[in-house]
Amino acid sequence: MVLEIGYGLGYDIYDYAKKNDCTFHGIDFSRLMYSKALKLNLESIKRGNVFLQCADFDTYSYENDTFHCVYFLNVIYFWDEIHSRLKKIFTILKQNGKVIIFMADAECFRDDKQFEGETIFYRYSIGEVVTEMGKTGFKSIETIEHTKEKKCYYLIGYKK
């Protein structure tokens, strides 16, 4: 089983579900994204290999040792702190499961986005995230630069 946090319009789940024989779960707190992703993935949902939730990952409860893989793309910038989220991901991963984080390095961003005096966009360096992954318990952490997007990386860590 695979979990995508922040599936947005649902394109990744749609593509992966067509190419892979496994169950995909997705969680996103936006009702608009849920509605769009639901329509796009309706066939796979009917077949029973895609399950989408409109909920907040922070408060949604998953059983321990559930997923083989958890991934998210460009979601980490909206987390005010990353350790508790990585800890939750570590807990819900099966033994030998992996987390895949796609993100740009902090130096790619000019300024934190602000809304009414509150930070809503957090800049983390690749090094900071890798350090937090290690503190959480992830092993054999890989950092792979995206071939087309400079300063964008896949960070892959394993629960061993």
CATH at residue 56: 3.40.50.150
Q: pLDDT per residue over 86-103, tens digit each?
A: 999 999 999 999 999 999
Amino acid 14 reads Y
Residue 153's domain comprises 2-158
**pLDDT exceeds cutoff 90 at 117:** no
Q: pLDDT per residue over 48-87, tens digit each?
A: 999 999 999 999 999 999 999 999 999 998 899 999 999 9
> How many separate domains does the chain show?
1
pTM: predicted TM-score of the whole model, two decimal places: 0.90
Angle, vertex CA 93, rays to CA 87 and CA 95, nearest 5 = 115
DSSP-assigned letters across all residues of 8-71: TTSHHHHHHHHH-SS-EEEEES-HHHHHHHHHHTHHHHHHTSEEEEES-TTT----TT-EEEEE
Instruction: Decide if 125 contacts 56 (C-beta within 8 A).
Output: no
